[in-house]
Amino acid sequence: MTIEDLKEGNKLFKKTKFNDYKNDFRTLVEKGQSPEILFIGCSDSRVVPDLIISSKPGDMFIVRNVGNFVPPYKNDNDFHGTTAAIEFALSVLDVKHIIICGHSYCGACKSLYMDLEHNDSLVHMKKWLQLGMKAKEMVLKDFDIKIDEQRVYRETEKKSVICQLENLLTFPEVKKRIDERRLSIHGWYYKIEDGSIEYYNREKKVFE
């Protein structure tokens, strides 16, 4: 797809699909957004949240980053894009659900097993990938990448979702709202190969 394709795509959207949601957009402009769901997904071009769950404009506040990672809460004066989005979703939009959605064939999770140490063009990427290292360590306790490489990647993708849910619980506002039963958090795993979604059952500690 080229830039010209995108321009033509917008023209087509305005002529066709925009009309399907014209009233929705008018309401969203006049009354503002009020989504009940914060969706934290991966930047991977194959993962398109509104497409895979058939949501419409205004349904979800969406954050996408490399690996659908959530940094642990840190009370400092630095730049925190994902953290800022979580705070906005909670304290401004008052969302009722947070979904962390991992996916199969995730490049970020695969990169955890690559040697990026001497690649100076990925300095921020190397730092960001530290958020997935716990998942990698958990998987390597049970599986040997030399024997079953693809199984290791799939297991790491799922374990990472669990680790990001744990990081989410380090946010004081998240913990407070869960305790007050004003918020629920969910771990999802989207399978690119067949379009299905598995969810993490926190009581059974398995994806179903």
pLDDT one-digit tens code per residue, 14-71: 999 999 999 999 999 999 999 999 999 999 999 999 999 999 999 999 999 999 999 9
Enter the pTM of the model.
0.95
Look at residue 92 in the predicted model and tell me its pLDDT.
Answer: 98
In angstroms, the CA 39 to CA 63 distance is 6
Is 163 annotated in a binding site? The answer is no
Looking at residue 97, its amino acid is H
Q: Mean pLDDT in the chain?
A: 96
Is 44 annotated in a binding site? The answer is yes
Q: Note whether 135 and 156 are within 8 A (CB).
A: yes
Domain ranges of the chain: 33-207
Question: Parallel, antiparallel, or unpaired: how do β-strands 197-201 and 184-190 relate?
Answer: antiparallel
Percent of the chain with pLDDT over 70: 100
Burial grade of 34 (CB within 10 A; 0-12, 13-18, 19 or more):
exposed
In the predicted structure, residue 77 carries a pLDDT above the cut 90: no
Choose among 188, 33, 173: nearest CA to 101: 188
Is 109 annotated in a binding site? The answer is no
3 state SS of 185: strand
Is 101 annotated in a binding site? The answer is no
Q: What superfamily would CATH give domain 33-207?
A: Carbonic anhydrase (3.40.1050.10)
Buried b (16+ CB within 10 A) or exposed e, 89-111: bbeebebeebbbbbbbbbebbbb
Strand blocks (E) in the chain: 37-42, 60-65, 97-103, 184-190, 197-201, 206-207
Look at residue 44 in the predicted model and tell me its pLDDT.
Answer: 98
In the predicted structure, residue 119 carries a pLDDT above the cut 90: no
